[in-house]
Structures are given as structure tokens and as C-alpha cells.
Amino acid sequence: MPHPNGYDIIGIGAPVVDHIIRVEEEYVQSLEGGKGGMVIINYHTLSEILDQFHGESTLMSGGSGSNTIKGLANLGNQCALWGKIGQDVIGHTYTESIQEHGVFPLMLHSKTPTAHALCLVTPDGERTMRTYLGASQEMCADDLDPAIFEGVKLVHFEGYNLLKGDLPEKGMALAKEHGALVSLDLASYEIVNMNKERLLNLIKSSVDIVIANADEAWALLGLPPEESCHALKDLCEVAVVLFGEGGCWVGKDDEVIHGKPFPAHPVDTTGAGDLFASGFLHAYLQEWSIEECARLGNQTGSAVVQVLGAEIPPVSWEQIKSSLVT
């Protein structure tokens, strides 16, 4: 049965406006924090960096969970996104943007500005994130309305929710109470480093599908990709570990398979894992084999790294959908 409100997949995650900015390698090396990761900044630092690149950034509706949900919607799923935005022009623009992708906005509002993420893209296509959490930082477990979970078949959580108190624990518990599958994208190795035991407990108790990249898996377990996948699949129903150009490992029950990568010429790695999750989760909900799930995930992940930003253009979506297994 379809959800009474018209959606059956929910993303729980921070609504963030992405600023895609091309920078030189030297600029990223001059910043505090490592290349390729995510560091929290305040509004003053955000404004300073934006002033340095005035007029040079491309704006998109972003956030890890939002990127995945938009991808799922583009694949034909009925989706909603829950989060908190500011009562500002950027927040209004954000809501309109996700609606254009077919996503139902379950947005709460705050007087604090909407969150922003600076996606600093070096010539090698690698993205380094500097994020102002803004209104999204105020998301909390008490904001969750159990009614939004009724009739839902999948609730997707981004790892950044671990920055918001017990929001992941309560959200996953509500999802389970309503019979929904729970997927979790670990989001960044910094988040994992801060929450190792908590993450392991959540994965064991509440997560059906966990998705991590090699850096996140190493931070959590201290193991390379294939071994990480073997370990994670014993904690939950399905485990996925991505390792860039090498593709992915997927584990379920007693089986671990290698998902071969799609050839790509990376322009910007922003959203690669998020859009992999879109393809993989879509296929999994169709009850495809884990090989087919990996294939579609690698296809959608490959498509997004060949454009600037975390949105696959409509013409590429049409090509992807025309190639789907029926």
C-alpha cells in the first residue's frame, strides 16, 4: 500500500546548500584539516571563504541524505526528506529545489540560517568539505513525529545525524516500530572517528543496510575494504564498502561479492557515495540480487562524478533508467 501522504521512502538528514567551488591544490593544503574530508566551520569563516570566491561558486540543494533521496526520486520512487532549514531565502530555494526533483519536503523551520557546505574541488576531482551546520544543527529527536513513518518501507539516515544527540537512535527505533528498513551511510571518516562504539552498536541493533567508503570503514574497523565488508555483513543484513575506482564490496548472509566499477572521467567526486546509495537502495527495494544492486549503485555513482556537483543531469538519468534490468 502506498503511503497516505504519497511517499514510502524518507531521508533523515541535514538540508544543506552546496557551494561548488573549483580551487587549486595549494588552497586546500593551506586549510586546517585533511583533504577529502569534512570540517565544521562557523558562519564567519563561511562568509570569509565565500568572499574569496565571490561569483565563482555553483549553488545546489545538497546534504548527504538529500542527495541520496533526490537520486531515489529520479529513479521513480516516492520520497520525502525530513530536516530543518532557516526562515531565509536560501531555505525557501532549497525547498523548491528538492520539490523539483519530486521529493516531498518535511521541513521544520528555524530563525537560524540554513546550513551551507563549501565543496572545494581540486583539479584531480577530489572534494574537500567545509560545512556551516546552521539550522540543521538544531535538528533533534524530540522534533520527530511518529506519524511521518507510517506506511514507509525505507528510512535512510546520513552519518551526520550522529552530531544531533540521540536523533539517530530515536529515528531508527521509530522506523523499526513502523516496519521500515533502515539504511545508514557513514558519511565521513571524521564522523566515524568520533563515534566508533556508538556506530557499531547502532549497526548491530538497528541498521539493515550500511554503506561506507574505504576511509570510513578503516576508521571504524581498522580493516581494508574487503575485510571490512566481511566484518560489517556479520553485524547487519547488508554491508557495502566502496573503494573509488576499484568499485565496491557487498556482503549479505554468507556471500561477499565485488561490484566492478563503471568507467568514468572524474570531474568532481562530490556526491559519489550518496548517488551510489541511490542506485543500490533502489535495486535492493526491487529485490534484485546484490550483484545487480552493486551494478546500479556503481552506475549512478559513476554518472555523478562526471559532472560538477552532486546532481545527475536529466539526460543521464534517462540513460540510466533505459538500461535498468526489468
Q: Which residue type occupies 27?
A: Y
- 8 Å CB contact between 19 and 57: yes
Kindly state whether residue 130 falls inside one of the protein's structural domains.
Answer: yes
Q: Name the domain count of the chain.
A: 1
Kindly state whether residue 158 falls inside one of the protein's structural domains.
Answer: yes
pLDDT attached to residue 125:
83
Kindly state whether residue 126 falls inside one of the protein's structural domains.
Answer: yes
State how far the Cα of 244 lies from the Cα of 126, in Å rounded to an integer.
11
pLDDT tens sequence across 199-231: 999 999 999 999 999 999 999 999 999 999 999
pLDDT tens, the chain, 326 aa long: 445 568 999 999 999 998 989 999 999 988 887 788 888 899 999 999 999 998 888 888 888 999 999 999 999 999 999 999 999 999 999 999 999 999 999 999 999 999 999 989 899 888 898 999 899 999 999 999 999 999 999 999 999 999 999 999 999 999 999 999 999 999 889 899 999 999 999 999 999 999 999 999 999 999 999 999 999 999 999 999 999 889 999 999 999 999 999 888 887 777 899 999 999 999 999 999 999 999 999 999 999 998 877 889 999 999 999 988 55
Kindly state whether residue 3 falls inside one of the protein's structural domains.
Answer: no
* Helical ranges in the chain per DSSP H: 25-29, 43-52, 64-74, 89-100, 167-177, 189-194, 196-206, 214-221, 225-233, 272-285, 290-305, 314-322
Q: CATH number for the domain including 181?
A: 3.40.1190.20
State how far the Cα of 184 lies from the Cα of 207, in Å rounded to an integer.
7
pLDDT attached to residue 1:
44
Instruction: State the residue range of the domain holding 166.
Output: 9-322
